[in-house]
């Protein structure tokens, strides 16, 4: 069973995403901010990371860069899920190492399709 780490400061968004993924059989862990996300990525070595962008402290772009540049976590794909929807945000996210950039609120079928794309 694949393990997914959600890095999301909104408890509501984290709950919704977690339920969608657990309902189809994935193991899910949650980090509440970017710093915790980087720490948990190194500790848990999940198969995939879903990263919010707008968070207090270390934002999702910074956390993505740290995760994708660190030798121990560089092989973990990071997908950004964000309410920021400018093309420049998408490009900046990919420059930080994100494999994909999805816009919130995300439709469950769109999330599942994207997750399966990176885990299969």
For residue 7, list its beta bridge partners.
31, 51
pLDDT value of position 85: 81
Domain that holds residue 85: 3-119
pLDDT value of position 107: 95
Two structure tokens written together for 76: 């973990």
pLDDT in tens, 63-91: 999 999 999 999 999 999 998 888 999 99
Number of H-type helices and E-type strands within the chain: 5, 5
pLDDT in tens, 93-102: 999 999 999 9
Helix pair 11-23, 108-119: axis angle to 10 deg: 60
pLDDT value of position 14: 97
Q: Is the pLDDT of residue 41 over 90?
A: yes
The CATH number of the domain holding residue 51 is 3.40.50.2300
pLDDT value of position 79: 98
For the chain, the domain total comes to: 1
Q: Which residues of 51-84 are buried (b: 16+ CB within 10 A; e: fewer)?
A: bbbebeebbbbbbbbbbbeeeebeebbbbbbbeb
């Amino acid at each position: 069973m694949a393990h997914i780490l959600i890095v999301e400061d909104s408890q509501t968004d984290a709950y919704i995403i977690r339920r969608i993924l657990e309902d189809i059989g994935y193991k899910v862990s949650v980090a509440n901010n970017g710093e915790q996300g980087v720490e948990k990525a190194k500790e848990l070595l999940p198969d995939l990371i879903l990263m919010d962008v707008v968070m207090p402290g270390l934002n999702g772009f910074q956390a993505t860069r740290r995760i994708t540049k660190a030798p121990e976590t560089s092989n973990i794909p990071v997908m950004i899920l964000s309410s920021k929807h400018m093309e420049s945000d998408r490009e900046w996210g990919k420059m930080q190492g994100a494999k994909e950039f999805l816009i919130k609120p995300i439709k469950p079928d769109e999330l599942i399709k994207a997750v399966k794309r990176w885990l299969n």
